Amino acid sequence: MSMLSELKVGQTAVLVALELPESVQNHLMHMGFVPDALVTALRRAPAGDPTVFAISGMEIALRHETSEAIRVRSATPEDLNPHFEAPSQDQAPELLEVVR
């Protein structure tokens, strides 16, 4: 688990927890910062603060001090594409042949 502030531009993560005062948490949750939401770092200001994040179809700029109080985990292929199915052990050799 890491902090939202650690995401590099272009990286996507899954939101785990908000460690902020309740009033700030409520405000962010109304904008889509809820557990299991996908969040992507889009761009940073030239001085590095704030950072613009994409979440729930919106772009939201957060200051570093706010984003470092938001816990995230790395996004898995299943998080990024809910219909993704990893190949079974039986399919793996067959898939390797297709690639060759």
Kindly list the domain boundaries of the chain, sorted by start residue. 2-99
- Asked if omega into 50 is within 30° of 0 (cis), the reply is yes
pLDDT at 91 (0 to 100): 53
- Strand ranges (DSSP E) for 51-90? 51-55, 58-62, 70-74
Instruction: Please give the residue that has the higher pLDDT: either 89 or 78.
Output: 78
Average pLDDT, the chain: 85
Q: Average pLDDT for residues 11-29, to the nearest whole number?
A: 93
82 CB contacts (<8 Å, ≥6 apart)? Answer: none
- Written as six digits, the tokens of 37 are 């939401």
What is the 8-class DSSP label of residue 83?
T
Mean pLDDT of 5-9: 94
Predicted pLDDT at 75: 87
User: May I ask the CATH class of domain 2-99?
Assistant: mainly beta
